[in-house]
């Protein structure tokens, strides 16, 4: 019987997930050449081609699609069995993969660094991206997103700090225009448009004393990256709508002026989430414990 090995199966799933040999090789910590040879050996042993490859793209063949559908659940069971065995270790070790939004990654980064200092045998792979992914299907142990975006079938752990939006403009831009006192004073044409990861345009949301106002920004510039939007507002491109922590330093330094602060109340903070686990590894359990410690300190000390 041919021995494909777990690494060969993991390689197939990684390529199917990422749609690229290069990206899959980076995830697996191996060279693209070694990965290509491993897949070629596996295909030769099976007698079928699992991937259709061109110079520009990689896609599953019909045989490959069926193979992935059958192997994925079995491999998940094998991972669970191995995790159960590792959970018997006294000292946490191994790799934790965490998927987060950019802001969520910044929120959890101090805990990650403290965790690595405390447990020198642990590794953490923190991936930040805008889209909301299926963490189980894409091989992550944990996810971090705003509480209202956490899938309902996941166990969620609040990280302890609410978030706020901030509406800002540069002092130079405001020097020739009236400062808006209410959302109704905003000219939609002055407001930068924000594109969400799913492609939809984000409606600006305001709330005060039970009154809710939505504004459809109609500015000439549409962006989906907070850092670029911040730079554009600093350069006087118009009014921007941000997560507060992305521009708090600019507000404190006077580079940006906050507008309509009384119309941007706190919103749900970030939550760390994960699927239920019957036998969590020692490293997984230790990381959750540190997250709970950090959240408790924030609640106590504000």
Is the domain 94-161+269-301 a CATH 3.40.190.10 member? yes
Mean pLDDT of 23-40: 90
Q: Is domain 165-263 in CATH 3.40.190.290, yes or no? A: yes
Q: How far is it, in rounded angstroms, from Cα 190 to Cα 216? A: 11
Across the chain, what does the average pLDDT equal?
89
What pLDDT does 175 receive? 95
- Burial class from Cβ neighbours inside 10 Å (0-12, 13-18, 19+) for residue 54 reads exposed
Which pLDDT belongs to residue 4? 55
The residue-averaged pLDDT of 129-147 equals 89
User: Count of residues for the chain?
Assistant: 302
Distance, in Å, from the CA atom of 59 to the CA atom of 54, rounded to the nearest integer, reads: 9
User: 222-235 b/e with 16+ CB inside 10 Å = b?
Assistant: ebeebeebbebbbe
Average of per-residue pLDDT across 52-66:
88
At residue 86, the pLDDT reads 66
pLDDT digits (tens, 9 = 90+) for 71-87: 888 888 888 777 767 66
What is the DSSP secondary structure assignment for residue 201, as one 8-state letter? B
- Per CATH, 5-86 and 94-161+269-301 having the same topology is answered no
Strongest mean pLDDT among 4-13, 55-64, 111-120: 111-120
Q: What top-level class would CATH report for the domain 5-86?
A: mainly alpha
Residue 215 confidence (pLDDT): 94
Give the pLDDT confidence of 218-253 residue by residue, as tens digits.
Answer: 999 999 888 899 999 999 999 999 989 889 999 999
Q: How far apart are CA 214 and CA 146, in angstroms?
A: 20
Domain residue limits, the chain:
5-86, 94-161+269-301, 165-263
The better pLDDT of the pair 12, 298 is held by 12
The DSSP element (H or E) to which 274 belongs, if any, is strand 270-274
CA distance 287 to 246: 26
């Amino acid at each position: 019987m041919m021995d494909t090995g777990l690494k060969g199966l993991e390689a197939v799933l990684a390529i199917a997930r990422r749609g690229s040999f290069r990206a899959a090789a980076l995830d697996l910590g191996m060279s693209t050449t070694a990965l290509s040879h491993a897949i070629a050996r596996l295909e030769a042993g099976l007698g079928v081609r699992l991937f259709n490859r061109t110079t520009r793209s990689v896609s599953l063949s019909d045989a490959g699609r069926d193979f992935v559908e059958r192997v994925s659940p079995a491999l998940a069971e094998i991972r669970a069995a191995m995790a159960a065995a590792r959970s018997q270790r006294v000292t946490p070790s191994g790799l934790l993969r965490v998927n987060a939004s950019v802001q969520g990654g910044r929120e959890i980064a101090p805990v990650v660094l403290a965790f690595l200092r405390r447990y020198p045998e642990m590794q953490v792979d923190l991936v930040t991206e805008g889209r909301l992914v299926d963490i189980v299907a894409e091989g992550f142990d944990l996810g971090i997103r705003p509480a209202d975006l956490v899938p309902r079938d996941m166990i969620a752990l609040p990280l302890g700090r609410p978030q706020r939006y901030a509406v800002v403009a540069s002092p130079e831009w405001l020097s020739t225009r009236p400062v808006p006192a209410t959302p109704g004073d905003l000219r939609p044409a002055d407001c930068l448009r924000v594109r969400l990861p799913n492609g939809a345009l984000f409606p600006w949301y305001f709330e005060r004393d039970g009154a809710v106002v939505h504004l459809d920004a109609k500015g000439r510039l549409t962006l989906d990256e907070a850092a670029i939007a911040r730079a554009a507002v600093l350069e006087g491109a118009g009014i921007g709508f941000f997560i507060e922590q992305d521009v708090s330093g600019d507000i404190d330094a006077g580079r940006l002026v906050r507008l309509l602060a009384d119309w941007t109340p706190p919103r749900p903070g970030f939550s760390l989430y994960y699927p239920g686990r019957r036998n969590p590894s020692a490293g997984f359990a230790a990381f959750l414990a540190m997250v709970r410690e950090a959240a408790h300190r924030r609640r106590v000390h504000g």
